[in-house]
Structure 1
Amino acid sequence: MVLDPIEEVLKKTSSLQIIPTGKPTPTPLPSVLPTPVDYQHAGHDGKTTLWVVFVIMVIASAVFAGLSWRVPVSKRLYHIITTLITIFAAISYFAMATGHGVAVNHIKIRHTHNHVPDTFTYVDRQVYWARYIDWTLTTPLLLLDLSLLAGLNGAHILLAVIADIIMILTGLFAAFGSEGTPQKWGWYTIACIAYLVVVWHLAVHGRAQAQARSNQVATFFASIAGFTLLVWTAYPIVWGLADGARKVSVDGEIIAYAVLDVLAKPVFGLWLLITHSKMSETNVDLGGFWAHGLGREGSLRLTDDDGA
């Protein structure tokens, strides 16, 4: 039997399996999975706390306004300042409770490894920027209350207020700072330095001026200023654990700040106004325009010569 030349070639090369007889083995590829995002948002406890503190600030504002009606207009400076503090705080807490005073900070965290490529994790954490606006308005007013109580001069009051505003704004910048760079903790350091300037003016200049007024004023100023500085010192600690290192949940952060705000505003204000009413040395008597308006004091008078 004579084979066809083509068949003979195929027979000789069949062992080489020129024509594939089985399914090819797929090459395994590394799977690509999306990196999960850690969402750190306020829960039920945090949102409830915001509403509770809003109500507390509204009640405190009404109480302080009622106390102001018991004294002449010329002696209401402490009452007006203290009432404005809790009004601003109430507005801030209403904004946060309704979700209009919050933003999400998108954080990218790099993890470095020795023998494999770097990996990244992502965190979306809520930052309540309305709180920083509140502090920018209320803490200078708190300082003004303490400065008037001590009898500080205008230069020291101005420097303390400016340092306080720098402290709050740099704290806000730090809250939105980039992770893994000197930026975030650099802003935090500037805020802490500004806070030390505030402490210097109150603890040194304020204390000296209060002692010059009377022993009673000095004792009261030392008590209420010491209480305020103790409460204020807790704020950067909470910030470092919450927005800074994220060791505290958003709910825990809200509750911690809520306790501090209630102590620093309604409790401070009630203590100040009740004690101030019993100490005549602390009065700031503002007559003239403050109490009576312009009246006829600013009107022009034409003399006989001017009208001639």
Structure 2
Amino acid sequence: MLETAAADMAILTQSVVPLEMTQAEVFQAVQDDALLNASFWANIALAGLSIILFVYMGRNIQNQRAQLIWVATLLVPLVSISSYTGLASGLTISFLEMPAGHAIAGEEALTMWGRYLTWALSTPMILIALGLLAGSNVTKIFTAVTGTTAMCVTGLAAALTTSSHMMRWFWFFISCMFFLQVLYVLLVQWPKDAEVAGTAGIFNTLKLLTAVTWFGYPVIWALGLEGVAVLDVAVTSWGYSVLDILAKYIFAYLLLSYVKANESAIAGMADGLGAADSANVAPADD
């Protein structure tokens, strides 16, 4: 009798709480969606080519600031190739049941949470490179880096919250507030520093490329499966992948091309002096 009761309880438990998908099953689900799978492998290939190209471009850079910009930029495709390999293998993907109020409430949605890990590591590198290019100081660079890290972490919380539909959007709102902080540094403070540093031309190009592409991420989140589910998971993934190509590989190529061709100008920049600081520097005694 006890054995029968235990068996009945096991059957009941399985019927109420479905077993979590194994990594092999998630991997197979990715393989079965050719469009989704292609969005991962396209970036793996481009990241690999970018790493080889960027190593070649930076092989003769001597100046310390220029080297630091190069290292920060090189880390972007290095992080990306690791992240996209995790997505393609099913390691950093989960199926989560959407909460009541969501467009597909009660259904399981494929959540690519590994992307947020990529952004939490790669976007700080982008901002460090931009801050150094602008000749900005440590405080402003630190503010931008912590802001973008918090933006990515709270975005991850929005994607993983299944307890409440409202809480998903509240996390999304918090993430957007951190994004505005980053934009303030990028669009208001650093352009002034770049004018003083003499790098305003290339900085303004990269600033606009970064701002425009980064605006695309919350838009895709809101329209995609994690938001109102207007876009399916494969289209959402390709949207993110295209933005990554523009915001990472194209950005990095433009930046490193400038650094390689203008290393002497980079070497002549004052360390940590932006526009806001140079106005307060006291003149030296005669």
Q: Does TM, normalized by the shorter one, top 0.5?
A: yes
Larger radius of gyration: 1
**Post-superposition CA distance 1:196-239 (Å, at most 9, x none):** 0001011111011011122xx11211111111110000000001
| 1:100 CA displacement | 0.9
Identical pairs, percent: 27
| 1:107 CA displacement | 1.3
Pair 1:48 & 2:30 matched: no
Equivalent-residue separation in structure 1 for 2:81 and 2:267 (angstroms): 27
| 1:47 CA displacement | 0.5
User: Mean Cα displacement is larger for which, 80-89 or 276-285?
Assistant: 276-285
- Counterpart of 1:268 in structure 2 is 251
1:222/1:98 CA distance change after superposition, 3 Å: same
Asked if structure 1 preserves the Cα contact closer than 8 Å seen for 2:93 and 2:114, the reply is yes
- Counterpart of 2:48 in structure 1 is 58
**Post-superposition CA distance 1:134-172 (Å, at most 9, x none):** 111000000001100111111111111111111001100
Counterpart amino acid of residue 255 in structure 1: W
Pair 1:103 & 2:94 matched: yes
| 1:182 CA displacement | 2.5
- Counterpart of 1:207 in structure 2 is 191
Select the residue among 129, 143, 148 that pairs with 1:145: 129
TM normalised by structure 2 equals 0.78
Counterpart amino acid of residue 218 in structure 1: A
Equivalent-residue separation in structure 1 for 2:48 and 2:158 (angstroms): 30
Select the residue among 166, 174, 178 that pairs with 2:150: 166
Equivalent-residue separation in structure 2 for 1:93 and 1:201 (angstroms): 29
- Counterpart of 1:232 in structure 2 is 214
Counterpart amino acid of residue 56 in structure 1: L
Asked if structure 1 preserves the Cα contact closer than 8 Å seen for 2:77 and 2:249, the reply is yes
Select the residue among 56, 76, 82 that pairs with 1:85: 76
| 1:253 CA displacement | 0.9
- Counterpart of 1:241 in structure 2 is 223
Counterpart amino acid of residue 222 in structure 1: N
RMSD (CA atoms): 2.3
| 1:177 CA displacement | 2.0
Asked if structure 2 preserves the Cα contact closer than 8 Å seen for 1:78 and 1:145, the reply is yes
Select the residue among 121, 137, 140 that pairs with 1:156: 140
Unaligned runs of 5+ in 1: 1-33, 35-40, 112-119, 286-308
SS of alignment partner, residue 122 of structure 1: coil
Paired residues in the alignment total 238
Equivalent-residue separation in structure 2 for 1:53 and 1:265 (angstroms): 10
- Counterpart of 1:131 in structure 2 is 115
Unaligned runs of 5+ in 2: 1-15, 17-28, 270-286
By percentage of residues, which structure has more strand? Answer: 1
Counterpart amino acid of residue 39 in structure 2: T
**Structure 1: which 4+ aligned runs deviate by more than 6 Å?**
none
Equivalent-residue separation in structure 1 for 2:236 and 2:48 (angstroms): 22
Counterpart amino acid of residue 100 in structure 1: L
Counterpart amino acid of residue 85 in structure 2: F
TM normalised by structure 1 equals 0.72
- Counterpart of 1:219 in structure 2 is 201
Equivalent-residue separation in structure 2 for 1:165 and 1:141 (angstroms): 11
Asked if structure 2 preserves the Cα contact closer than 8 Å seen for 1:77 and 1:284, the reply is no
- Counterpart of 2:25 in structure 1 is none
User: Mean Cα displacement is larger for which, 121-130 or 155-164?
Assistant: 121-130
